[in-house]
Chains A and B, each alone.
Chain A
Amino acid sequence: MRPITLIRNARHWRTGARVDLGFREGLIVENPGAREAGSVIEAEGLMVAPGLVDLHAHLREPGQSVKETIATGTRAAAAGGFTSVCCMPNTQPVLDAAVQVEWVRERAAAVGFCRVHPIGAVTMGQQGEQLAPAMALRNAGAVALSDDGRPVVKASIMRRALEYALHAGLPIVCHEEDPSLKGEGVMNEGFTSTRLGLRGIPNAAESVMARRDVELAALTGGRVHLAHLSCAESLEALRDAKRRGLAVTGETCPHYWTLTDEAVGEFDTAARMNPPLRSAADRDAVIAAIADGTLDCFATDHAPHTADEKRAPFDQAPDGIVGLETALALTLTFLVKPGHLTLERALDLWTDEPRRVFGLRPVRLEPGDQADLVLIDPDAEWTVDPERFQSKGRNTPFAGWRVSGRALATVCGGRLTHVDPAVHVARARRDAAADPAAR
């Protein structure tokens, strides 16, 4: 039997108790003793929590590996404390067939640094016309369906998709956007878009579609998950759905609680994303909906692009920012520190809650659970430096920000996928096979 890897003197994220955690062959073991340990990770002063889950990331493979690959994207995930990433199907080709989903999973198993759960397309080629084979996609490992980035425009198709997805038991992740209301908009419609002469996207472009999909959830009984909500009106739609007891859940992303459209400043393409950064009132509504439990969980909408692509006039630059390596710190710095959330609840929104929303296997750090965990220093102060990102993407509006909270080590399936040089790992036996960092 392989030796145990032991984490010593960590603080339990829920109970606050001092714990020793051991794991072997990917699973957490009962009452680990130091004598059996092959490696010992000193976690004095660190908090141990289940690994973070991102329900919404763009890993860009297959087809756009100039922006990101499964290897670099999952390495970024591990560095950010994530052990599971759900990747969006708007790749080239689109993940609309079992073989594509299988390819992503096999690739991730071969080169990845975290679990990768593909999200299949709702319609073939994300064209919004013909349903993708939900059953085959699920059987191949898809955990949800989405036409992310290209909303299903026809209500009739969305209705049928929701009905059919019930067979597969999968939620449909809705990128809420009415294309005609969005028009050629490139940022939030408001004072800043007027100041800069950029075409605006009104809040209603998102909330009109959110309302539609809530009504379709009511009609069909289907599972709707509202992705990356950015504005007060959409949060109201989610609140309304929950009041009515519908199977509707929702997420938001760190940039919607940290930034407003003023971040566009002098046409800074690092602040261009879709949905766009909104007004201060919307940012406050997002924080309120996090605090009152309207929002079910967080996600990053990690969307890497090359420097060349982002180096363009604002209205020609692509939408999106990277998020995996800043998510935890932006949560702790801007939600926990000001007192909007407790640290425990904030971590739930990155761990338990997203696992519940997508029906992933729970991780509670109990014996028999998969050893997916993260060691966090909630008070570690650092400066965001895109040049040090593991992701290929450097597109972030947070460059230079002083933040606190950092994942110092990440373990996925018993494998040490990320370890900060500050963490002391003692390898008791010189047994290469026992080295958790070995591939």
Chain B
Amino acid sequence: MKTADRGLAQPGAGLVSSLARGDVDPDRVLPLHRDPRHLLGLEGLDRAGILALLDAAETFRARLRTGGMPFDDLRGVTVLLGFFEDSTRTRVSFELAARHLGATVTTLTTAGSAISKGESLYDTVQNVRAMGVDLVVVRHVASGAPYFLARHLDVSVINAGDGRHEHPTQGLLDLMTLRDAWQGRFEGRRLALVGDIAHSRVARSAIFGLRALGASVTIVGPRTLLPAGISELGCTLASTVEEAMEGADAVMALRLQRERMDGGLLPSLGEFSRVWGLTPERVRLLNRDAVVLHPGPMNRGVEVTAEVADSERSVILDQVQNGVALRCAVLARCAAARPARGFDRASIRPNREVA
């Protein structure tokens, strides 16, 4: 039925929620997620697709370590970094990755762009597309903004973090880091995810990615920061941080933003760090050889004590380093899958719906 093609549920069909249970065809329900030109989220990616990206990232990591840059994998490819929300790590990491691969790179931020003059996101990116951009890496405060671009513009889109939805390249670099720590085996492993799940795009990508690879995820945090129906994503809820961390193979602390105190979500930072912070005592509950991750930027003394952040178990800087190699792999995959076009007239036909 045509409605299913659009991802719409006919009454009673329950299409999308059953995706987490794996009994529907994701190509039909999530056509944009599954299009190899884009990387919009880890939801809907299967084990083979994720492992292929991780393998490619390892190859890039080896090449980057050997040196002899730049490479020419992306020669002739124009990449726009559209960062409509503040970012340091992700933007620099994408820019380095694209330049290492020989792409032409240009950066657009909200400040100083036409967006600040009231131009719509659609028009801005459409204009940039007309200038011959092949690939747009987008960071945006609105959940779903990269989907919007993928649906309405004939261009490859990589999600560099959209609102509180997904941050797929972060999710993949976390998987890459965990694969190293776990000697390549995901089955039977467990990650404890601690803190502000509701506002975290990192949490969603981690959950989707780890579930696809056969690992399990336990989440814990203040009830005010746990979104409705989170366990239906395929993870277990723990009632205390100790319960979540006991015997886990890794723990990831999520960044707590200070403005969360305003909406009545939390009494105080001190209370949060006492009840949910990663302390050396709690880290000792983990399995032997378990690692500590943090997507950054860190609030030392809030989600994680300085002692834990700087301990041997911490792989926080490995995450950052893996980020560059991983983004090389993602850029290369999307560039290879894009239709061969670029600076041509076809790209400037307005209102072209590609979804």
Residues of chain A touching chain B, judged by Cβ–Cβ distance below 8 Å, are 183, 189-200, 202, 257-260, 262-263, 265-268, 271, 280, 283, 311-316, 334, 397, 399-402
Contacts and interface: CB of A to CB of B under 8 A. Distances in A.
A259 B14 CA distance: 10
B352 interface: no
A194 B227 CA distance: 6
B143 A198 contact: yes
A313 B11 contact: no
Nearest to A315: B142
B215 interface: no
B165 A198 contact: yes
B343 interface: no
Interface of B: 1-3, 5-12, 14-17, 20, 29-33, 43, 120-122, 140, 142-145, 147-148, 151-152, 162-166, 201, 204, 227-230, 232-233, 263
A400 B144 contact: no
A313 B3 contact: no
Contact of B11 (A190, A200, A334): A334
A265 B163 CA distance: 17
Contact of B162 (A189, A194, A197, A262): A197
15 contacts: A193-B227, A194-B228, A194-B232, A194-B233, A195-B16, A196-B165, A197-B165, A198-B143, A262-B15, A266-B144, A266-B151, A267-B144, A280-B14, A334-B11, A399-B6
A195 B263 CA distance: 22
Contacts of B9: 259-260, 262-263
Contacts of B151: 266
Contacts of B17: 191-192, 262
A268 B163 CA distance: 16
A194 B14 contact: no
Contacts of B263: 183
Given A265-B8, A315-B142, A191 B147 contact: no
Given A283-B11, A312-B148, A191 B165 contact: no
A29 B280 CA distance: 90
Contacts of A257: 11
Given A259-B9, A260-B9, A266-B31, A315 B144 contact: yes
Contact of B163 (A192, A194, A315, A334): A315
A311 B149 CA distance: 10
B24 to A, nearest CB: 11
Given A262-B16, A271-B8, A316 B227 contact: no
B158 to A, nearest CB: 16
Contact of B29 (A183, A265, A314): A265
Contacts of A200: 227-228
Given A191-B229, A312-B148, 16 more contacts: A191-B232, A193-B228, A197-B164, A198-B144, A200-B227, A260-B9, A262-B9, A262-B17, A265-B7, A266-B30, A266-B147, A267-B148, A312-B120, A313-B148, A315-B142, A334-B11
Contact of B144 (A262, A311, A313): A313
- 8 tightest CB-CB pairs across the interface, nearest first? A265-B7, A197-B165, A267-B144, A191-B229, A313-B142, A400-B2, A197-B164, A194-B227
Q: Which of B30, B122, B163 has the most CB of A within 10 A?
A: B163
A196 B7 contact: no
A61 B8 CA distance: 31
Nearest to B16: A262
Contacts of A283: 11
B152 A311 contact: yes
Contacts of A402: 1
A279 B318 CA distance: 42
Contacts of A316: 142
Nearest to B8: A263
B143 A311 contact: no
A196 B164 CA distance: 8
Given A265-B8, A314-B142, A400 B16 contact: no
Contact of B3 (A190, A192, A311, A401): A401
